[in-house]
Amino acid sequence: MQGLKDKRILITGASSGIGAGMAKVLAREGCRLVLHYNRNQHGIEQTLKTVESLGAKAQVIQCDFKQLTQLTQFFNQAWLLFDGLDGLVNNAGIVTKSTSLKDAEGEQFAQTLAVNLQAPYQLSTAFAKACIKAKQPGVIVNNSSIHGQATCEWFSAYAASKMGLDAITKVQAVEWGKHGIRVNGLAPGVVPVERTDKILNQPEMAAKWCERMPAGRYGTTEEMGEATAYLLSDATQWMTGSVLTIDGGLIARGNYPVR
C-alpha cells in the first residue's frame, strides 16, 4: 500500500484475532507498530514475534480499557514510543451476547460501551489533539462490525456500541478534516478468530453461515488487515467519514440465520 512504509501505527487489541491480522499485514507494509493488549500476554508475545520476523519495529503496551481513567496515560506513553504516531487503529473490543432481560440493570451494556465506544472516542480525541499540536496529518481506522448496520438476537450492547462507533466515525471526520485528519471505519462480517474458530468451522454451523454469503465463505483476519492497510494508505487520501463493509456480501443479502 502506497505511503505506509515507516508510518507509526498504534493498534489496540493486537494480541489475537483481527488485531493480530492487522499487525501482520502492516508489518509487511513496513510500518512501525505500537501493539496494545489487555490480558493476553501470550498472544501479544506471538504477535510481536510475528511482526519482528517480518522486519518491523514494534513496541508493546498494556492497558485495560474498562478503566477509562487510564486512557490518557496509555495514549501519552504510546505516542512517545516512536516519538509520535501517524495512525490509530481502534480495534480493541468485547463481544457481549446477552438478552436485555438478562442484563436488566445494564451492567454488561455499560461495560461494553465503555470498551467499544467510550475508549475509541477518548483515544481518537487524544490522537487528534496530538496531531494538531504537532502540526501533522493523521489517520484513524475504527474497527466496527456489520452489527452496526443490521443485527439480531442477543446483541443489544454490542450492536449499540458499533452503531455508535459508526456515528462517531462520521462526526469526528467532519470535525477534524480541516486539520488533515481522516477518520474511517471498517465493518467486518463473520471472521473466525481464536475464540470462535472451533464452533464456526463445525460443518453444520459453517453451512448455516456460508450459504448466506454470496462469497460462500468466511473472511480471514489478514483480509481485515489488508482492508485496514488500504484505509491507512495514500490510496484513500480523499476518503473520510466512511465505513467500509467487508463481509462476503452478507449484509447485501440481508439474511442472518435465526438464533
Q: Which residues participate in catalysis according to the annotation?
A: 158
CA distance 60 to 47: 10
Q: Are 215 and 246 a contacting pair, CB within 8 Å?
A: no
Output DSSP code: residue 82.
T
Which residue in the block uniquely carries the three cell numbers 449499540? 160
Cell output for 140: 484513524
Q: How many angstroms separate the CA atoms of 11 and 123, rounded? A: 11
Query: Which of 155-160's residues contact partners 24+ apart within 8 Å by CB, and which partners?
Result: 155/96, 155/97, 156/98, 156/99, 156/100, 156/103, 156/109, 157/96, 157/98, 157/103, 157/108, 157/109, 157/111, 157/112, 157/113, 158/95, 158/96, 158/97, 158/112, 158/116, 160/109, 160/112, 160/113
Per DSSP, helices labelled H in the chain are: 17-28, 41-53, 71-81, 107-113, 119-134, 156-176, 197-200, 203-210, 221-232, 250-253
